[in-house]
């Protein structure tokens, strides 16, 4: 009997993914362990191996199909002695429908003279229409709410709008709002910009997850912020000396490597801050598993350096370089970017002097690192001096860490960075 090949769950939280590319075609013979296709999750592109053997009888979900639910059939495998005719006779489940692509990549432009019609759905009722259908409706002055869609699940498509009789949309209220509602939906926002040139950028899986998780973080996590300034001159001198001695081994330590190590040690020195929020309880971790934000095209990863308190600076540096390189091509495995109790976000290398980072749940805190700058300071002798000063901000989940405890943690980070030799003890 033909075997349905199902969309796999490639991470514990995966609910859907994008079938990026098939590496086999219909008629190919495959064996257990052969790679069938590449699948994009919210964080990575991963290869999917078959566990059965046979012939690919039918590919149900094509290359580039987004929103394929976990356990949905993506292909049919024929066993020995079976043919394509057996698929017709077999009750194969329907494939998830790919979105209808009607709009080209060119920027959208609507006539300036025509006033923007109101195409917003009544409150609580969303109108499903393609971007091209919305644009044509705006140009013809049609109210999308009055049209019946012929596309998948009643979606309004180009033909529905072109065949409709042009008539003005409902007259706007006497007093028009001057700003978009705080939670404006796509219809409302697109109506506001109907007379402006723009390009619509659909959200990929990663962008959707980032939007969802960070909205959840800011709405549900009671953030508070602690700020300190850290003098880097001793660290910069120490780093320069170390790099000279390690040059023959091809090792070059970055400032970020020292920050990772300083934070890992501080989590051990203030163990109550090495914790995460678990809904109705707090989990206190024993090892220092430090996540580090890595910017990639279209989003970011937070690969985790495990047991960082027991690692040498050179090993942390080598692993961080490897994780960052593979993050940029989305080749990290889920266990490499999940977990940790604490994260570092360093925008100092991009010239940002200070900022506040959003906590990545379930972490208890995140350190935002700014750029080091030369500035006047009063030294230990009470004299005016010039020092390289770096501003950092610790964003803290108040459910996990109280103010005084967070201050102890940030002080420990500062002391480690200002006395770098102590980190090697």
What does the pLDDT look like over 394-424, one tens digit per residue? 999 999 999 999 999 999 999 999 999 988 8
Residue 107: predicted pLDDT: 33
Q: What confidence tens digit (pLDDT) does each residue in 158-169 have?
A: 778 777 765 544
- Whether 125 and 242 share a structural domain: no
Rounded Cα gap, residues 403 and 397, in angstroms: 10
> Which residues lie below 8 Å from residue 123, measured CB to CB, with a gap of 6+?
none
Q: Clarify whether 398 is annotated catalytic.
A: yes
Residue 213 domain-assigned (yes or no): no
pLDDT digits (tens, 9 = 90+) for 77-111: 888 878 877 775 444 444 333 333 333 333 333 33
Q: DSSP code of 128? A: P
Q: Where do we find the tokens 């020995």? A: 80
State the pLDDT at residue 81.
78
Full domain range(s) for residue 13: 3-89
As beta bridge partners, residue 301 has 294
Q: Is the pLDDT assigned to residue 132 strictly greater than 70? A: no
- Lowest mean pLDDT of 45-59, 295-309, 331-345, name the range: 45-59
Residue 32 · residue 15 · CB < 8 Å:
no
Are 82 and 114 in a shared domain?
Answer: no
Residue 151 or residue 177, greater confidence: 151
Instruction: Supply the CATH number for residue 128's domain.
Output: 4.10.320.10
Please give the tally of structural domains in the chain: 3
CATH number of the domain that residue 291 is part of: 3.30.559.10
Q: Does some domain include residue 62?
A: yes
Annotated catalytic residue, options 223, 335, 363, 398 = 398
Domain final residue pick, 89, 124, 148: 89
How much is the mean pLDDT over the chain? 83
Note the Cα 368 to chain centre separation in Å: 18
Strands 365-378 and 342-346: parallel
pLDDT band, very low/low/confident/very high, at 175 (cuts 50, 70, 90): very low
Residue 95 lies in a domain: no
Q: Determine phi and psi for 380, rounding to 5 degrees.
A: -65, -25
Both 250 and 298 in a single domain?
yes
pLDDT per residue over 200-230, tens digit each?
888 877 788 888 888 889 899 999 999 999 9
pTM of the prediction?
0.62
């Amino acid at each position: 009997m033909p075997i349905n090949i199902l969309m796999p769950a490639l991470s514990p939280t995966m609910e859907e993914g994008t079938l990026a590319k098939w590496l086999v075609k219909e008629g190919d013979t495959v064996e257990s362990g052969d790679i069938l296709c590449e699948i994009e999750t919210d964080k990575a592109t991963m290869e999917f191996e078959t566990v059965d053997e046979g012939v690919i009888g039918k590919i149900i979900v094509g290359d580039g199909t987004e929103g394929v639910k976990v356990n949905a059939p993506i292909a049919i495998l024929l066993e020995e002695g079976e043919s394509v005719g057996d698929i017709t006779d077999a009750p194969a489940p329907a494939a998830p429908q790919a979105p209808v692509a009607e709009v080209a990549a060119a920027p959208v432009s609507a006539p300036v003279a025509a006033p923007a019609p109101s195409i917003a759905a009544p409150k609580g009722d969303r109108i499903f229409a393609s971007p091209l259908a919305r644009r044509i409706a705006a140009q013809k002055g049609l109210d999308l709410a009055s049209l019946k869609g012929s596309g998948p699940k009643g979606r309004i498509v180009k033909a529905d709008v072109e065949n409709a009789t042009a008539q003005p949309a409902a007259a706007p209220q006497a007093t028009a709002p001057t700003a978009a509602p705080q939670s404006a939906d796509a219809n409302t926002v697109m109506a506001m910009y109907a007379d402006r040139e723009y390009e619509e950028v659909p959200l990929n899986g990663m962008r959707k997850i980032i939007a969802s998780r960070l909205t959840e973080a800011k709405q549900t996590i009671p953030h508070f912020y602690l700020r300190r300034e850290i003098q880097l001159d001793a660290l910069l001198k120490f780093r320069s000396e170390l790099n000279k001695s390690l040059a023959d081994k091809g090792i070059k330590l970055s400032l970020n490597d020292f920050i990772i190590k300083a934070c890992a040690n501080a989590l051990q020195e203030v163990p109550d801050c090495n914790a995460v929020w678990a809904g109705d309880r707090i989990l206190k971790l024993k090892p220092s598993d430090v996540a580090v934000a890595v910017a990639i095209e279209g989003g970011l990863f937070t690969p985790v350096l495990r047991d960082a308190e027991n690692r040498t600076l050179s090993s942390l540096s080598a692993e961080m370089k490897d994780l960052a390189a593979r993050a940029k091509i989305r080749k990290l495995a889920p266990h490499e970017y999940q977990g940790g109790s604490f994260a570092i976000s360093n925008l100092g290398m991009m010239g940002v002097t200070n900022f506040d980072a959003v906590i990545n749940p379930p972490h208890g805190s995140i350190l935002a690192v700014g750029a080091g700058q030369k500035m006047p300071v009063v030294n230990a002798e009470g004299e005016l001096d010039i020092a390289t000063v770096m501003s950092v901000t610790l964003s803290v989940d108040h459910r996990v860490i109280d103010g005084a405890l967070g201050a102890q943690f940030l002080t420990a980070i500062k002391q480690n960075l200002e006395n770098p030799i102590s980190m090697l003890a």
